[in-house]
């Protein structure tokens, strides 16, 4: 890129957090999946049993397996299959961290419209991540 054209401070800050987080998350996904495949921790649903469940819709799947929706997977984190949720949730939450990083930059620049946009986006993503918005039965 031309040396004279430099992206804004907030854009570079966002990129830095995204870069580190993305690498960490993807490495985490591979490590936890290897742990799962090699059965280092026992799985909640054994891999041999999985084909019985993956054809069910999500409501029947939760009912039959006794898995609860929302953040309750954290209680099952010692199980090999649910350990994989940790890097997946981290990757899904990474954008929130990036927004939290750029918020003070917009505040410092007194860029009111973007302070409001950033705050609203953080709230929306936190709402999605909270588990309040779940889907009921078909």
Partner 1 sequence: MEYNEYFKNWEGVAIRVYFVLFLLFLVFFFWDLSLASEVSSHIIEGGSRFPWWAWPLLLFIVTFVLGIIVVLGGVGGGVLFVPIVGGFFPFNLDFVRGAGLLVALSGALAAGPGLLRRGLADLRLSLPLALIASTSAIVGAMIGLSLPKNVVNTFLGLTILGIVVIMLTAKKSEYPEVKKADALSQALKIYGVYYEPTTGKEIEWKVHRTPLALLLFVVIGIMAGMFGLGAGWANVPVLNLLMGVPLKVAVSTSKFLLSITDTSAAWIYLNSGAIIPMIVVPSIIGIMLGSIVGVRILAIAKPKIIRWVVIGLLAFSGLRALLKGLGIWT
Of 31, 43, 49, nearest to 78 (Cα)?
Answer: 43
The answer to whether 9 and 103 have CB atoms below 8 angstroms apart is no
50 binds partner 1 (CB under 8 A): yes
Place of tokens 């995204």: 18
Rounded Cα distance, 45 and 76, in Å:
11
- Judged by CB under 8 A, the residue of 40, 64, 77, 120 near partner 1 is 120
Of 33, 28, 23, 19, nearest to 89 (Cα)?
Answer: 28
- Judged by CB under 8 A, the residue of 38, 66, 110, 113 near partner 1 is 113
What is the x/- site pattern for partner 1, positions 72-111, by CB under 8 A?
---------x--xx--xx-xxxxxx-----x---------
66 binds partner 1 (CB under 8 A): no
1 binds partner 1 (CB under 8 A): yes
124 binds partner 1 (CB under 8 A): yes
């Amino acid at each position: 890129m031309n040396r004279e054209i430099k992206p804004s401070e907030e854009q570079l800050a966002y990129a830095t957090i995204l870069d580190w987080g993305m690498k960490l998350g993807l490495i985490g996904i591979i490590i936890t999946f290897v742990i799962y495949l090699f059965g280092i921790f026992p799985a909640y649903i054994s891999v041999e049993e999985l084909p019985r469940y993956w054809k069910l819709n999500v409501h029947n799947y939760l009912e039959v397996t006794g898995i609860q929706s929302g953040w309750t997977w954290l209680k099952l984190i010692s199980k090999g299959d649910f350990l994989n949720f940790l890097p997946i949730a981290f990757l899904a939450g990474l954008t929130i961290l990036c927004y939290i990083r750029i918020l003070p930059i917009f505040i410092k620049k007194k860029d009111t419209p973007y302070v409001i946009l950033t705050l609203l986006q953080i709230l929306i993503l936190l709402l999605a991540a909270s588990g309040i918005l779940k889907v009921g039965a078909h």
